[in-house]
Amino acid sequence: MQNITRIYALSKRNVILRYKNSLVGFFWGFFKPLLYLLIFIVIFKQNSGIPHYVLFVTSGLILWFFFSNVTGQSVGSIVGSSGLLKSLNIPAYFFPLSETIGELFNLLLTLFVFLIIMNWFGIVYSIGMLLIFPCIFLFALFALGLNLFLCSINVFFRDVGIIWNTVQPALFFLTPIAYAESSIDPKYKMLIQCNPIYYFLKLGRCILYDPVLPAWHLWSSCIIISVSMYIVGQFIFNKLKNQFISAI
């Protein structure tokens, strides 16, 4: 119970810090995906041949920006909390965890707004849409695993944060967000299939965009990817956590 209070306090701090001194605070979170959406409509919509293109892109963008925000913020979470870590006996994993939880709330809120607005862009509401919750849970578990890995390495090599910011756009275009999977040259299909985010995106899009239930093998690959990422991240984090204090 006490831990829940602590994680809540940390998440609250993250939210306050993120939008401190900014004019419309929370709404900037909507602004970025909107901008991307407009760009994609201008560039890709004509040639894509995808029905309900706005719905197609937005469902991908929501999931991508959750991932991009949560990893971008968590990379520096341990380094940025040096004062607290040095003065209180709280487990270090609370920091990436609270970042992930804070962003998760953001995602749920965005999703709610999305579901209402997409009414005008051809969304088909169904009971199967509730499957988005386990999908988000798996994606968040994957992100948490990656966050644990990134933030612990970043303590010792500060360029991890910079590298991650550089790699992100490449990952973005390797994930079929703005274009259909089928438009990729079969030669390079492997490249996309190596990208773990692709599977989560496909799962989420099955639920939100296609009115079909996702296949079981898609579920199982998502479960395998997220659980193994979490185990790897937690393992590396545990190996390094005793030395955090000396390096921050």
Partner 1 sequence: MDKDIIIKVENVHVSFWQNNVGVYSLKDLFAQRKSPFKTKTILNNINTEVRRGESLGIVGRNGSGKSTLLRTIAGIIKPDKGNVVVNGTFAPILAIGAGLEVELTGYENISMLLALYGTKRKNTNAVENIREFSELGDEVLRMPVKQYSSGMVARLAFSISLANDSDILIIDEVLAVGDQGFQAKCMEKIYSIKNQGKTILFVSHFPDQVAKICNNAILLENGEMIHSGNSIEICNKYKQLF
Q: At what angle do helices 196-208 and 216-240 cross, to 10 degrees?
A: 140
C-beta closer to partner 1: residue 5 or 119: 5
Work out how close the CB of 98 gets to partner 1 at its nearest, in angstroms, rounded to a whole number: 11
Query: To the nearest whole angstrom, how small is the minimum distance from the Cβ of residue 225 to partner 1?
Result: 26
User: What's the rounded Cα separation, in Å, for the pair 42 and 34?
Assistant: 13
- Which residue number, 77 or 110, has a Cβ lying nearer to partner 1? 77
Smallest gap from residue 87 Cβ to partner 1 (A)? 3
Residue type, 221: S
d(CA 94, CA 130): 28
Asked if 15 and 100 count as a contact pair (C-beta separation under 8 A), the reply is no
Distances (CA, A) of 187 to 32, 60, 184, 202, 219: 32, 23, 8, 20, 25
Closer to partner 1 by CB, 2 or 119: give it: 2
Q: Which residues bind partner 1 (CB under 8 A)?
A: 2, 5-6, 8-10, 12-13, 16-17, 20, 82-90, 156-160, 163, 242-243, 245-247
Nearer to partner 1, 46 or 246 (CB): 246
Q: Minimum distance between the CB of residue 241 and partner 1, rounded to whole angstroms?
A: 9
